[in-house]
Amino acid sequence: MKFAKNPANRIADILIYGFFIIMCLMIVIPFYNMILFSITPYKEAVTTPLSLLPRGFSAVNYQLIFRDNRLINAMLVSVFNVVVGTVMAVAITTTVAYPLSRKIPFRRSLLYFCLFTMFFNAGIIPWYLVMRDIGMINSIFAMTVPSMLSTFNLILMRNYFLSIPESLEESARIDGAGDFVIMVRIFVPLSMPIIATVGLFYAVWFWNDWWFPLLLVPSGKLMPLPLFLRNLVIENSIRMVDPNIGGAASGDYLKSANRGVQMAAVAVGTLPILCVYPFVQKYFTKGIMLGAIKA
């Protein structure tokens, strides 16, 4: 049965839809302009820096960034951080969340101890000194080990474990299963939505993180892609090569081409992580909802 909407409800729907359309445009248009600028020939980019319609196609910007071996190396470092860091972080988060969801001594005190770290920390200098003392300076694991456990993700996974019926655990214990077997054989297979959700959170974090590498990895060989893009966009660290592409290297050309290379580099750094989302989308909503509402 369909119910007729009164004028007030219709106006409210229009305002809500209008608000979300504006928010979507604010997100999509800059991203679209970034892609458009990265493939626009430099002559058109000089005349009209901002446009909503394609004005030609040129792959020069992408050729320039992929000629720089630092970009390829930075991408490989970031892929290593995402794969190794996400696997290790999800494994550690799972093994910590499971006992916190069971009836163990001092469970609530341990949970409060974890929550304390969300709101208070010792500061950047003591943290750096600890990282230095444990050998994290100029180490490939300096970009993964400090972020192995997120309290927010831990709470999400713990709350999801609480939603699993206790009768399954009791049946497994009657059959002689221990805690590790119960976690691996029962809880993990039933918790794929929250594992996929937490894995996505960790993957995005490891892919986008540039602050920890900036502090702990001053060596250029271990520079991840976000730090390389920071140097490129903020500090203009990339040098333009082959200025004869497309004509003389005028000031307008250098300014436009430099921005075009920046946009192409940002696109290369953004698109890979966006391609991961469709594969975990079906788990994301279910995992985040069930992980957030259980007390």
For residue range 182-230, what is the model confidence (pLDDT) as tens digits?
Answer: 888 888 888 888 888 898 889 888 988 888 888 888 767 888 888 887 7
Classify residue 203: in a domain, yes or no: yes
Rounded-to-integer distance, Cα 232 and Cα 228, Å: 6
Listed range (10-24, 174-188, 218-232, 242-256) with the worst mean pLDDT: 242-256
Q: Is residue 233 part of a domain?
A: yes
Three-state secondary structure readout of 153-172: HHHHHHHHHHCCCHHHHHHH
Q: Please report, for the domain that includes residue 210, its CATH number.
A: 1.10.3720.10
Residue 174 lies in a domain: yes
In a domain, 26, yes or no: no
Q: What is the mean pLDDT of residues 253-260?
A: 57
Report how far residue 105's alpha carbon sits from residue 65's, in angstroms, rounded to the nearest whole number: 56
Residue 251 clears pLDDT 60, i.e. is over it: no
DSSP percent split of the chain into helix, strand, coil, nearest 5: 75, 0, 25
Domain count, the chain: 1
Whether 29 maps to a domain, the answer reads no
Out of 170-174, 179-183, 287-291, least confident range: 287-291
Residue 53 lies in a domain: no
User: What is the average pLDDT across 223-250?
Assistant: 60
pTM over 0.85: no
Task: Name 202's Cβ contacts closer than 8 Å, sequence gap at least 6.
Answer: 85, 86, 89, 90, 147, 150, 153
Range of the domain at 230: 69-293
Does residue 243 lie within any of the structural domains? yes
What mean pLDDT do residues 66-94 have? 89
pLDDT band at 93 (very low <50, low <70, confident <90, very high): very high
In a domain, 58, yes or no: no
